[in-house]
Structure 1
Amino acid sequence: MLIGVSSYEKVKMRRTAVRLLLFLVLPVLGGCAVLPDNSNRSVTTTYTSVSNPVVDNIYANAPRKGDNISGFLLLDNGLDAFVARAVLAQIAERSIDTQYYMIHGDAVGSLFVDQLLQAANRGVRVRVLLDDINEGDRDFDIAIFDMHPNIEVRIFNPFGRNVGRLWQYVTGFGRQTRWAHNKSFTIDGKATILGGRNIGDEYFSHNPELDFQDLDVLAIGPVARETSDAFDRYWNHELSYPASVLFNENIDRAEAEERKKRFEKRIASLTQSPYLQRLKNSDLARKMRDGKVHFEWGPGRVYVDPPDKLLHKVGDRSYQMFTDLLPYLRNAREEIIIFSPYFVPGKEGVAFLAALRKKGVRVKILTNSLSSTDVSIVHAGYSRYRKDLLRAGVELWELNKGLGKNKLPQIRC
């Protein structure tokens, strides 16, 4: 998260492949992608002064007070990560704002959507913001979901629907190849979940053979408000298209009803899933509902790349949150911990970390090994810097596939 200078390295590696692809496919592709007029989208913002008895009670009894003091709870396993989102949805009074890179249609994705529907059915306003990279074949289902009077779905940086996506990848390189990876789930502007998990089985420990070791944090207080402000900036941006505008198709009511029935049957088939059982019986669920969760209290800030980033050139650091993080890194006095699945520091990053080590700052990095990564080309970009990092005194760890989280091997020269 902190040394996120891997994007430029990844872009360079992709450019060669894209240029070759461009040479091969240009003769057989044609047409221009067209997006509908988005100028009449409505502007909506987070509700303020919402009373949420559960969250308000926890915050009122916090052991530490202050304008910048928030409460934090680490969600380090998939079951609790689902439970936390579900309970927040159930205690939401007026609003749920959720933004994800992807929401799958698998077991976890279906249960997640069902929690949003239940909240909307009791009058909660639900705003869902998605990146378009993995949602193109689900337009009809999204359109049906968006038809609920208390739900609105918007798609950030969408593809045109009149031309194939491959063509848009080629001609839109630098824009269509840049995605919104923001992941947040916020209720009433007062409680939020931030972290690395998208919504899908592989992010919530559904299958041990495909289990992304992500982390989330549940936070209440000013951090939640800052998250809401960031969500509003993306939600109201010119690149966020309402589903009702983007999916310009007549919804077949009979087919819509049939798909709703199939979804209800799927939810009924999941009543004995470990996620719903955990939601009923776990200590976390009970403590969240009763307002008795033990939070760690302290100052916190939320940093987000501005949505305007996609309107400017790749590598323009004035539109990267790295610029905001850099002073914290430069002024570190004792320790920096970097936890990133895709870590490609580049020569500049290696030199920066080496300079910190010379000042006596302890630097620890945890990233994927070749056996655990899902993007081998990123690992190839990272591995070329391992020896230089180690020689500089950086403590470099890799997650080894098949080892428990307390058995991470340290890399040595």
Structure 2
Amino acid sequence: MSPLLRGLVLSLALLGGACASLSDTQRNRAASIAQAARSQVIDCSAANACAQPSALRALGDRAQSESTAQAPRHYALILDRGQDALLARLNLMRSARSRIDLQTYIFDTDDSARLVLDELLAAARRGVQVRLLIDQLSAIPDLRILAALSGAHQNLQIRIYNPSFGKAKLNYLDYAGSVLCCFRRFNQRMHTKLILVDNAVGITGGRNYQDDYYDWDAQYNFRDRDVLVAGPAAGEMGANFEAFWNARRSVPVERLNDVGRKLLKEGVPAMPVAEFKRPERVAAVSAEANDAEQVRERLVAPAMPVGAVKYVADLPQKHRRERPHGAAPAVPELKALIDAARSEVLIQTPYLVMSDAAQDLFRDLHGRTLPPQVIVSTNSLAATDNAVVYSMSFKYKRRYLRDFGFRIYEYKPFPEDAPVDYAALMPDGPPLALGSEGRFRGPSGSIGPSGASTRTQRGTRRQRTEPRPSFLSSGAASRLLPLKRAGVRLGLHAKSMVVDERVGVIGTHNFDPRSENFNTESAVVIADAAFAQALAASIRRDMQPENSWVVAPRAKPVVLSGLDYSLGKVSESLPLFDLWPWRYATSYEFVPGPDCPLPVAPNDPAFHQCYQAVGDFPEVNVGPKWLYTRLLTAFGAGLVPIL
């Protein structure tokens, strides 16, 4: 963008923001309108706010009763399946006796998000104090819904974190102006995710409030992971939420310019009637949340008793320039765990982009006399929701494999054995074939209708992805890459780590520069061997040959292998353009046979006998593949500091 055009955009944005800004008097009037409209009617007179009996909520009471100051007791549940994660949230909200605190980065208006909103309103009306805190970048995009919530009930409060130009909903000029005038502040996002009930049971992890986090999207869903924790650590979660709720950047929604203007003009509107795309599916999960047997079988029985649990979470002060001591504890805590590893570090992250500090850490780790093995589960280009970020991972494959000693597994877009309800993903299409072990599979492993493997899947437009500023959320940058086959694809979004199968970590941290420098993050750290092994098994499942390709060095060419390696290394070190077409590593598919009954590691002598090279970007249909990704790399390299 030329200086003249940049100045014009900035001037228009600032002018538009100034014109739309309310005076203090107007803002106070809008807040008074919302407050006066709030219902004070409570549907329940019971001391427990007519909370639904719940064995899941009871885990919090049990953990508290079994705990002492010297020996805390917790129950921890790994939530791999999206439908279980939604079921747990619904059941806990209905079982709340006094308080629900919900903090998130994305809150949409689709089926799952609207269902959660309705549950929060129902809880408020029966006497539960409900607080909802959403980052502005991906907050509820409907001003009518926000205005309705601002005046819905005295027990419901909603605040927006870090609102640019004092608005809930930004247009393109707002985004451009925010980047040009105050880039650092605009990029400081609240990526922390938490739902906490009665300061007794909390859930954190990768999931936001949007259909694709709960296996409800018809085109693309995230393979994600949350952890539910019941016990004393919930108090730490509550204290952290309180710090965000009272932060200067957390603004009551009725005091924002666009919501306030709507209130001044129209008063508090009625909550729009829910128009569910799949009402039968909404009704089914709602009924399950009332089914005590379902809750016990799917959520309570798998919960694991563990001892001490640490909730490691950044504070909002991370976004201040002075960064007081202790304001951003998540990063050093995770680095200390990695540095203490002796045999293995198992990492699952959707975006394998590392800061300089992280690269130094892993380089030093690999330089030890007996280095631990670092195994990474991440997205392939075919599975990712953000090709620009993937391009940076691709650019540095040689460094990851050779200098850091990583073993990298890249998730397939059509995994055959993912923790999802395959049949539910395409309920309106032809029935899926039932594969071995009762798993549903589409053709050639794709999740989709019969015959889909012969068609090319067109790029799907994504409205939001977490690692990039939303002013890039239109056009080609927001589309999933076209694939060679059709079907409902999956992409990794889980952020987890296991160290020596003795410590397990589940949280929101993407192990990338954004998580270190811009976003606030949270994670649950559990030093329990049984929990760590269960988490490791979940990650290793995603790395199995039916679910992932393995990235490994190519077989060395007969001639000029040294020259090829040197030129590739030089090209990689260029700050923007990376033009050398022959790469150090590529993707491989396991080919079982009499001599290859089981998968082997890339450093095994039999690797190239048992694995077939499938190209740098398997499944992707982009024409000249290496050229396309070089273009992405040329663009993405300049974004490393904010990615």
TM superposition score normalised by structure 2: 0.54
The Cα shift of 1:68 comes to 4.0
Aligned to 1:217: 227
Pick aligned residue for 2:409 from 397, 400, 408: 397
Q: Aligned equivalents of 2:4 and 2:413: distance in 1?
A: 33
- Partners of 1:21 and 1:180 lie apart in 2 by 30
Verify: 1:199 aligned to 2:209, yes or no: yes
AA partner of residue 385 (structure 2): D
Once residues 292 and 382 of structure 2 are traced to their aligned partners in structure 1, the CA distance between those partners, rounded to angstroms, is 33
Letter in 1 for 2:143: D
Equivalent residue for 1:410, pick from 541, 550, 572: 550
Once the two structures are superposed, residues 32-87 of structure 1 have per-residue CA deviations (whole angstroms, 9 ceiling, x without a partner) of 55687799x9xxxxxxxx99982454326769995444221011111100000011
1:144 is aligned to 2:152: no
Q: Deviations over 1:11-31 (max 9, x none)?
A: xxxxxx898973673465542
1:243-262 matches, cutoff 5 A: 243-246=253-256, 247-249=259-261, 250=263, 256-257=269-270, 259-260=271-272, 262=273
Residue 441 of structure 2: aligned partner: none
Distance 1:385 1:24, change over 3 A: farther
C-alpha deviation, 1:360, in angstroms:
2.6
Do the aligned partners of residues 188 and 35 (structure 1) sit closer, same or farther apart at CA in structure 2, a change above 3 Å counting?
farther
Distance 1:272 1:81, change over 3 A: closer
1:274 shift after superposition: 4.2
Partner of residue 4, structure 1: none
Correspondence list, 1:195-344, <5 A = 195-207=205-217, 209-246=219-256, 247-249=259-261, 250=263, 256-257=269-270, 259-260=271-272, 262-263=273-274, 266=276, 269=279, 273-281=283-291, 283-286=293-296, 294-312=303-321, 319=328, 321-344=330-353
Q: Closer, same or farther in 2 for the Cα pair 1:30/1:183, shift >3 Å?
A: closer
**Bigger RCO (CA 8 Å, 6+ sep):** 1
What is the CA–CA distance in structure 2 between the aligned matches of 1:292 and 1:402, rounded to whole Å?
30
Cα distance in 1 between the residues matched to 2:372 and 2:4: 44
Does residue 154 of the first structure (1) align with residue 159 of the second (2)?
yes
Instruction: Specify the code of the residue in structure 2 equivalent to 1:336.
Output: V
Q: Which residue of 2 aligns with 1:123?
A: 127
Residue in 2 that maps onto 1:380: 391
CA 1:212 to 1:93, structure 2 compared with 1: closer, same or farther past 3 Å?
Answer: same
Kindly report structure 1 stretches of 4+ aligned residues shifted beyond 6 Å.
17-21, 35-39, 50-53, 252-255
Letter in 2 for 1:25: V
SS of 1:199's equivalent in the other structure is: coil
Indicate how the Cα distance of structure 1 residues 347 and 55 shifts in structure 2: closer, same or farther if over 3 A, else same.
Answer: closer
Q: Which amino acid aligns with 1:380?
A: S
Q: Aligned match of 1:25 in 3, 6, 9?
A: 9
Give me the identity figure in percent. 25
Aligned amino acid, residue 382 of structure 2: S
Distance 1:401 1:275 in 2: 26
Q: CA deviation at 1:368?
A: 1.2
Write the distance in 2 (CA, Å) between the matches of 1:160 and 1:378: 28
Aligned-residue CA RMSD (Å): 3.5
Task: Tell me, in whole angstroms, the C-alpha distance in 2 between the residues paired with 1:177 and 1:114.
Answer: 31
CA contact (8 A) 2:105 2:193 kept: yes
1:353 is aligned to 2:356: no
Query: One-letter code of the match for 2:354?
Result: P
Q: Which SS does the other structure have where 2:307 is aligned?
A: strand
Map residues 70-85 of structure 1 onto 2, 5 A cutoff.
70-85=74-89
Equivalent position of 1:107 in the other structure: 111
What amino acid sits opposite 1:222 in the alignment?
P
Give the gaps of 5 or more residues in structure 2. 32-47, 52-56, 419-540, 542-546, 554-643
Indicate the structure (1 or 2) with the bigger Cα radius of gyration: 2
Cα distance change of structure 1 residues 23 and 122 upon mapping to structure 2, 3 Å threshold? same
What's the secondary structure of 2:106's corresponding residue? coil
Change (3 A) 1:143 1:27: closer
- The alpha-carbon distance between structure 1 residues 19 and 90, as it changes in their structure 2 partners (threshold 3 A), is farther
Report how many aligned residue pairs link the two structures: 383
Distance 1:379 1:186, change over 3 A: same
User: Normalising to structure 1: TM-score of the pair?
Assistant: 0.81
Determine the C-alpha separation between the residues in 2 that align with 1:378 and 1:281.
42
Match of residue 93 from structure 2: 89
Q: What are structure 1's unaligned runs of at least 5 residues?
A: 1-16, 42-49
Q: CA deviation at 1:384?
A: 2.1
